[in-house]
Amino acid sequence: MGGLSSTLELAQKLIGIPSISPDDGGCQQLLTAQLEELGFEIEHLPYGDVSNFWATRGDASPLFVFAGHTDVVPSGLLDDWIDPPFLPTIKDGFLYGRGAADMKGSLAAMVTAVADFVASNPHHKGSIGFLITSDEEADAVDGTVKVVRELKRRGVQITWCLVGEPSSETTLGDTVKIGRRGSLNGRAFIKGTQGHVAYPALADNPIHKSLAALAELVSREWDGGDQTFPPTSLQISSLHAGSGAVNVIPGSLEVLFNFRYSPQSSVESLQQGCQQIFDGHGLDYSLEWNLSGEPFLTSPGQLITAVEQSIQKVTGGATALSTSGGTSDGRFISPTGAEVVELGPVNQTIHKANECVSVNELDQLAEIYGTVLEVLLT
């Protein structure tokens, strides 16, 4: 790998480790070994099958934290990949492999950015931290949320947190996330009466009688959003009924759905809205709920300004401030009072076969991260 940047070398090493969530596979050992050489104190905080670590250099305020995850989603069908997903490959200016964009490239850029910054500023003000988990892509119950809970118990106050999620859309830095909509999962269990398809009068088809309610569920305008957040949206993700027998009317229907909701709606208002729809159609049903995360928003402040200035300096481009997309671990960090911004590679290939990141933009990302540190900690 002669001639490659330190960021690219580290990214390749990380991609070469199959760390399918929640298995870290040794990625964190690779990261902590390098951080220890930079003067970081490392604390491993495992919970269940999840690997987490908290690393700090210094103990003064303000505290700047890089947050991210070493776990990746499964590779899917190997036949869809040009090269094996865990064999890092450089072709035509792009680094290919599972996790290249989400988010092992960002992790590599963070470490090398800090290495360069510390070399130039050994007596920087404040302190630097890393909060890294292997439980972001799956359940996200034993990862960042529990580390944050432990840090809160200790009285640790994060001032600024930069999350390395792939926020960019077309070119590096064209979009950063300053917040996210909330995520609320619902499960509806609708009862009917099983029977023979030739005798529908003797049965009660839960699919048929639910169609109008489901149509209303997906067509309803839950709110209009606001100047910062897009409107709340609902997507049905799964319908399940019956045993697979073509001549049997099913006795029940299970519907899984998800709200991505803006602050204009609340968990309670969404739950009540669903109940009103199901009640209005006379369904015999039960509902179960799971809140994945509440909405969060970082107001204009030092971190957003530093990120915008750094992107402009390195890429020459402007950046859009966005709250679109899915959830991230920023939802666990923001409630502590920290300013949270998500900045990472272009996200067009994440979770897809042949995931990739631009080699040049990966090096630029490390430069942006380092410039943010210079703005805030010198």
Active-site residue set: 71, 136
63, amino acid identity? L
- What is the Cα–Cα distance from 100 to 364, expressed in whole angstroms? 15
- What is the Cα–Cα distance from 167 to 224, expressed in whole angstroms? 24
Residue closest to 191 by CA, chosen among 254, 237, 238, 260: 254
- What is the Cα–Cα distance from 179 to 156, expressed in whole angstroms? 22
Tell how far CA 362 is from the center of its chain: 19
- Is residue 307 a contact partner of residue 319, using CB atoms and an 8 Å limit? yes
- What is the Cα–Cα distance from 109 to 224, expressed in whole angstroms? 38
Count other Cβ atoms within 10 Å, centred on residue 320.
Answer: 13
* Peptide bond connecting 85 to the previous residue in cis, omega within 30 degrees of 0: no
- Is residue 319 a contact partner of residue 176, using CB atoms and an 8 Å limit? yes
- What is the Cα–Cα distance from 249 to 197, expressed in whole angstroms? 6
186: three-class secondary structure by DSSP? strand
DSSP classification of residue 266: -
| Phi, psi torsion values for 129, nearest 5 degrees | -130, 160
The residue count for the chain = 378
